[in-house]
Amino acid sequence: MKKRLIQITQPLLKRLGLRLLRDKDHQCLQQNQTLLTELVHQARQTNENAASAEGISFIIFSKDRALQLDGLLRSMLHHVTGAYSIHVLYCASNAAHAHAYGELTDGIQNTDRIQWTKEADFRKDLVHTLQGTQTASVCFLVDDIVFIRPMNLDALNRDAIHGGIVSLRLGSNITFCYTKQKTMHCPSLNPTKGQDGLLEFSWEDGSYDWAYPLSVDGHIFPTSEISVAAKLLDYRAPNTFERALQILTPLYQKRPGYCFKSPRMFNIPLNRVQNENDNISSEISAEDLLKRWNEGLTLDFETLSGIETQSVHKEVPVKFSTR
């Protein structure tokens, strides 16, 4: 009876410019409207009371990758200057990986700049972390990223950070999408006034990575907006968090994108440690890298400094050094 009623009703609704929605679609629409309403409200509050500190809070997601995380943190502390803090949200699937993270937290320098949270409930932990963030901007990273060029965050154009989306992973040479294994179109890159080396582009003119503003791999966002999204969206881990954020694509694609001529970081997909997405990667397992870590080794990030890549993810030979 329900199916027959739909068949009778749909032609009439179509003539009136209307259509029936499934319960799932209706719930998604309601969620979208609620989220956008909250974002507009938050933006007004932020403009009326701009009390957030300048600088950027980096939130790093890590699971069973102490060695790779060590490489990321050391490359950040080596290459990145200016006002920033680091918050690591990590998960260890067994005691061996938990022990490795313990060694990492004891051994890394500049620990006053780094805060650590052992994951209990990813969504709750992320919301809590964002609520405690004092800076106006936030940048998410995953643990198989490495910074490869110097970057002074204090020199970044304030208008670019607050009015657009700055990508630390894109650059004029990025023409291949690793995750899709496709060549991609690079939009026009135009010099930015008052910022040497920073280029402006339109997300709507690009494809694949150049049309993907809501990435958790090195894009800078307003903390106030992302905090609202994290609180209202449904997700359970980094991959589903990024997927849930895509509901905001129509809004964020309208904002200007910014990048450097050469990327400041890139992702080395040595392995896959999650089951949410069947991402492609090379075949160095987390257990192999844990063994290297237990032998006293870590990622030699300095051998990757200045590397030229054509994609934001790239399988490259890595070297290890004694930590």
Q: Is residue 76 part of a domain?
A: yes
Q: Are strands 84-91 and 135-142 parallel, antiparallel or unpaired?
A: unpaired
pLDDT interval class at 6 (50, 70, 90): very low
Q: Are strands 165-167 and 219-222 parallel, antiparallel or unpaired?
A: antiparallel
Q: Is residue 248 part of a domain?
A: yes
Q: Is residue 43 part of a domain?
A: yes
Q: Is residue 246 part of a domain?
A: yes
Structural domains counted in the chain: 1
Q: Is residue 5 part of a domain?
A: no
- pLDDT by residue (tens digit) across 20-46? 445 555 465 555 656 656 665 555 455
Global pTM reads 0.85
**Domain span at 226:** 24-322
**Tokens representing residue 220 in the block:** 């800078």
Q: Is 82 left (phi over 0), alpha (psi -120 to 50) or beta?
A: left
How far apart CA 1 and CA 7 sit, in angstroms, is 10
Q: Is residue 13 part of a domain?
A: no
**Cβ contact 39:121 at 8 Å:** no
Q: Is residue 10 part of a domain?
A: no
- pLDDT by residue (tens digit) across 57-89? 999 999 999 999 999 999 999 999 999 999 999
CATH of the domain at 65: 3.90.550.10
**Tokens representing residue 117 in the block:** 């949270």
Look at residue 270 in the predicted model and tell me its pLDDT: 87
- Name every residue whose Cβ is closer than 8 Å to that of residue 278 and which is 6 or more positions away in sequence: none
**Cβ contact 62:90 at 8 Å:** yes
Q: Is residue 31 part of a domain?
A: yes
- pLDDT by residue (tens digit) across 234-267? 999 999 999 999 999 988 999 999 999 999 999 9
